[in-house]
Chains A and B, each alone.
Chain A
């Protein structure tokens, strides 16, 4: 057993252990933290394989982005500090069976598949090569998926802005919702709503 094997098993233990704890923990915030350990372990696996770029991107996207997002939604959820209810035992058994089945199926296919090594010399995975590959239009270029994903993200961002947009209602419009008062000027109320609506970004 050399250093490399020991490091691999430590990483694997952190990934699988973190994932199991994330599923079985009764406190939802702890689940998020265990998920974090699992994801950091995967990033560690990439570093172990010398794919530093993908490892760093894994940390940025999943840890810095997604787990923080999950934690924020937990903060904003009502009663998220209490323990969750234990699931019914039938459900627990069936989900365990489903997970085991998925695991066996994946392992079966991996054992069936023969991995062939490419004869070509490996490209050094530095930032320059990755950038060139991402934007190249040749055989192994990724320009199309790259652009499609960019458009998807842009659409998602515009969607977020539309959901979060605040429409400012002018003060007299709020007053108008109260029961009619004789003193309120009729001409003011009859103004079109959109004319005074300010859009605040």
Chain B
């Protein structure tokens, strides 16, 4: 029983590391094998995750619209997404005539690679992180700005006016909403004094920032959720693919596995955004603690840290999914007005408030 309690993701990871280093004398070979293992683990985590998110999205949609959602294939329709995946794999990957074939095939790859890179500094469980880089938050916002290149590339190379329009829209949207995302992340960086993900999680040992940080942190949490929903092109900000106006926007011409890669990137992005919100505002893998309630805190410690992390992440994913079925799509001018006239000024003032709060030590 005691042995079972000490098993954690971090102990497994360090065990594999020590075993590899001791059995393989060549440092380069050992490192490469480790990288391959990490890559395989990521894929084994991400592909089922996308299945779950796809199923969850349909069920949440059904719930919101008072219908069943998928319910034919498998128990409660849970195998529907498998059938859809098989369908996507079997389809022909068309490349339209007149398109720039090199860029057309490169665009989905760039989208997926970008998502994978952003996953690196996210702490999945206690001491379980791919790369604890000392500029974690900055790294995340830097790499996620690469995603817009993939969208612009897809829109341009498709040789289709709908694709190009979608790409232009999403470019304007991502570039503007990046500012609000950055400013709302900065408020937590100010309070923590560090950009490192592990430091940010450790600073929330006595309480999550959303509770300790009073109203300014709640405001920046709300702004982060709104702005990052726009940054990952999800409804109500899905102007880039607005199906009624642009058929499917920047991925109109994509089919088969190339389309599946866009879908994969979209769901991974949803996970990443929620994971970052959970890490910065809701304490990441940190269990829920209340002041001096020793017994309560101790019980909370028994829940594995990975479950805490996934639970918080899925809570935020659930909120973002509900947006899609609650709000109508914004027009382009409304979208830009929302960012430049409301979110950006509010988050700027909010940053000053958080700074004052951090200097005076008003947070608890």
Instruction: Summarize B's interface: helix, strand, loop or mixed.
Output: helix
Interface size on B (CB < 8 Å)? 35
- Are A30 and B100 interface neighbours, CB within 8 A? yes
Instruction: From B27, B133, B134, give the contact of A3 (CB < 8 A).
Output: B27
Contact with B along A21-48 (1 / 0, CB 8 A): 0000001011001001000100000000
Interface size on A (CB < 8 Å)? 26
- Is A134 interfacial (CB-CB < 8 Å)? no
Q: Taking the nearest CB of chain A, how far is it from the CB of B120, in angstroms?
A: 11
- Are B133 and A60 interface neighbours, CB within 8 A? no
Instruction: Summarize A's interface: helix, strand, loop or mixed.
Output: helix
Q: Taking the nearest CB of chain A, how far is it from the CB of B50, in angstroms?
A: 25
| Interfacial chain A residues near B193, Cβ < 8 Å | 128
Give the contacts of A57-76 with B (CB-CB under 8 A).
Answer: 57, 59-60, 63-64, 67-68, 71-72, 75
Q: Taking the nearest CB of chain A, how far is it from the CB of B164, in angstroms?
A: 7
Instruction: From A30, A53, A81, A128, give the contact of B138 (CB < 8 A).
Output: A53
- Is B125 interfacial (CB-CB < 8 Å)? no
Q: Taking the nearest CB of chain A, how far is it from the CB of B230, in angstroms?
A: 16
- Is B278 interfacial (CB-CB < 8 Å)? no
A52 CA / B134 CA spacing, docked (Å): 8
Q: Taking the nearest CB of chain A, how far is it from the CB of B159, in angstroms?
A: 8
- Are B178 and A64 interface neighbours, CB within 8 A? yes
- Are A75 and B168 interface neighbours, CB within 8 A? yes
Interface 9-residue window, one of B145-153, B306-314, B343-351: B145-153
| Interfacial chain A residues near B356, Cβ < 8 Å | none
| Interfacial chain A residues near B260, Cβ < 8 Å | none
- Are B103 and A72 interface neighbours, CB within 8 A? no
- Are A60 and B141 interface neighbours, CB within 8 A? yes
- Is A127 interfacial (CB-CB < 8 Å)? yes
- Are A30 and B148 interface neighbours, CB within 8 A? no
| Interface of A toward B, CB cutoff 8 Å | 2-3, 6, 27, 29-30, 33, 36, 40, 52-53, 56-57, 59-60, 63-64, 67-68, 71-72, 75, 81, 126-128
21 contacts between A and B (CB under 8 A): A3-B27, A6-B28, A27-B100, A33-B103, A33-B149, A36-B149, A40-B146, A53-B138, A56-B135, A57-B142, A59-B146, A60-B138, A60-B142, A60-B145, A64-B145, A64-B148, A71-B152, A71-B171, A75-B168, A126-B135, A126-B195
| Interface of B toward A, CB cutoff 8 Å | 27-28, 31-32, 100, 102-103, 106, 133-135, 138-139, 141-143, 145-146, 148-149, 152-153, 156-157, 159, 164, 167-168, 171, 175, 178, 189, 193-195
20 more contacts with CB within 8 A, not counting A52-B134, A64-B178, are A3-B27, A3-B32, A30-B102, A33-B153, A52-B133, A52-B139, A57-B138, A57-B142, A59-B143, A59-B146, A60-B142, A60-B145, A63-B146, A64-B145, A67-B149, A72-B168, A75-B152, A126-B194, A127-B194, A128-B194
